[in-house]
């Protein structure tokens, strides 16, 4: 049997060929991927990954694509899109979510059930898997702060990772540079008044609305250094509005690159390189990307 025949036999796994990644990237750019898997169940995800492994097909786990820059040349392999794996279950103060659950849906469930902790993360356009991988944070709260444990697939076997074993850091975790698929996660939250939680959520959303551009983006492009805010450095270097093709440094938030319909991944890539060169020349500081570049540039 060949790879295509085997994957086509997996129940609850939709397999598409030659899919454009543009629709799955915050910047709306990127080439095609050979295989695009949409598992409807965790079991289908596991079988899909195992067959990729057997046939040595490179794979990539895609959440909401809001931290990714796909190359115009695309990705040679399989992209596993987790959006349909979105179950959320609450028991007492524990919330369990599948990897593709939308973070804002998780926060809605928390607030509805009077469970506090994650409400300041409202507005981050992430899936649970993407947010844990990146250790997403906002307003002083990291997603890892309330994480209890993660179930993941390692070398074809399900494994439990305690919070400590996830090795969380600033926009970092054990999942970032490893072929480990997060399947589901549990959060331990605290009982709070839903009304108060909703007020906090709305305040955070309102601040976001005021300081972030509404155009297409992948949020902050560069990591802050230990001392400096990347956005402040870029702003003070006079780079707001700098444009390459259809990509531009936002005039509203200097750490955001926004894209127009005609943008390519190369435009975004070259703009990133221009910013890095300028900040190195002007301040002798090497900025590092927060976003991930996928494929060849």
Ligand X SMILES: Cc1cc2nc3c(=O)[nH]c(=O)nc-3n(C[C@H](O)[C@H](O)[C@H](O)COP(=O)(O)OP(=O)(O)OC[C@H]3O[C@@H](n4cnc5c(N)ncnc54)[C@H](O)[C@@H]3O)c2cc1C
- Binding residues for ligand X, per CB under 6 A? 26, 60-68, 82, 99, 124-127, 129-131, 133-134, 136-138, 175-176, 181-182, 212, 217-219, 292
> Is the Cβ of residue 99 or residue 234 nearer to ligand X in the bound state?
99
> Is the Cβ of residue 195 or residue 197 nearer to ligand X in the bound state?
197
Separation CA 239–CA 228 (nearest Å): 16
Token pair belonging to 15 = 């397999």
> Is the Cβ of residue 98 or residue 267 nearer to ligand X in the bound state?
98
Q: Give the residue at shortest CB distance from ligand X.
A: 130
Is residue 86 within 8 A of residue 100, CB to CB? The reply is yes
Torsion angle of alpha carbons 19, 22, 23, 27, nearest 10°?
A: 160
Minimum Å gap between C-beta 7 and ligand X is: 18
The sign one gets for the Cα dihedral 189, 190, 191, 192 is negative
Task: Count CB neighbours of 10 within 10 A.
Answer: 20
Separation CA 157–CA 133 (nearest Å): 19
> Is the Cβ of residue 32 or residue 127 nearer to ligand X in the bound state?
127
Minimum Å gap between C-beta 176 and ligand X is: 6
Minimum Å gap between C-beta 209 and ligand X is: 10
Minimum Å gap between C-beta 268 and ligand X is: 13
Is residue 288 within 8 A of residue 280, CB to CB? The reply is no
* Phi and psi angles of residue 126, each rounded to the nearest 5 degrees, phi first: -110, 160
> Is the Cβ of residue 159 or residue 193 nearer to ligand X in the bound state?
159
Minimum Å gap between C-beta 210 and ligand X is: 13
Minimum Å gap between C-beta 17 and ligand X is: 21
Q: 47-55 long-range CB contacts below 8 Å, 24 or more apart?
A: 47/10, 47/13, 48/7, 48/10, 48/13, 48/78, 48/80, 49/80, 49/153, 49/156, 49/181, 50/156, 51/3, 51/6, 51/7, 51/10, 52/77, 52/78, 53/156, 54/6, 55/3, 55/6
- Catalytic amino acids? 171, 220, 290
> Is the Cβ of residue 211 or residue 282 nearer to ligand X in the bound state?
211
């Amino acid at each position: 049997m060949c790879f295509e025949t085997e994957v086509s036999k997996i129940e609850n796994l939709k397999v598409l060929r030659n899919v454009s990644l543009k629709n799955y990237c915050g910047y709306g750019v990127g080439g095609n991927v050979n295989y695009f898997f949409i598992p409807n169940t965790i079991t289908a995800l596991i079988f899909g990954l195992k067959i990729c492994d057997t046939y040595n097909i490179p794979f990539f786990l895609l959440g909401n694509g809001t931290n990714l820059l796909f190359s115009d040349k695309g990705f040679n392999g399989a992209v596993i899109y987790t959006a349909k794996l979105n179950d959320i279950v609450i028991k007492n103060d524990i919330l369990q979510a599948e990897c593709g659950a939308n973070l804002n849906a998780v926060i809605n469930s928390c607030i509805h059930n009077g469970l506090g902790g994650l409400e300041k993360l409202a507005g981050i356009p992430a899936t649970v898997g993407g947010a844990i991988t990146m250790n997403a944070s906002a307003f002083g709260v990291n997603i890892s702060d309330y994480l209890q444990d993660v179930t993941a697939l390692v070398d074809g076997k399900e494994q439990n990772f305690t919070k400590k074993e996830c090795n969380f850091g600033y926009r970092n975790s054990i999942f970032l540079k490893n072929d480990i698929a997060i399947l589901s996660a549990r959060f331990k939250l605290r009982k709070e008044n839903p009304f108060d939680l909703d007020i906090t959520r709305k305040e955070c959303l309102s601040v976001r609305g005021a300081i972030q551009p509404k155009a297409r983006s992948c949020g902050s492009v560069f990591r802050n250094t230990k001392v400096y805010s990347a956005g402040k450095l870029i702003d003070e270097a006079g780079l707001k509005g700098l444009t390459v093709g259809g990509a531009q440094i936002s005039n509203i938030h200097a750490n955001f690159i926004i894209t127009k319909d005609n943008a390519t991944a190369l435009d975004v890539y070259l703009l990133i390189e221009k910013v890095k060169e300028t900040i190195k020349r002007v301040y002798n500081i090497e900025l590092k990307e927060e976003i991930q570049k996928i494929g060849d540039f």
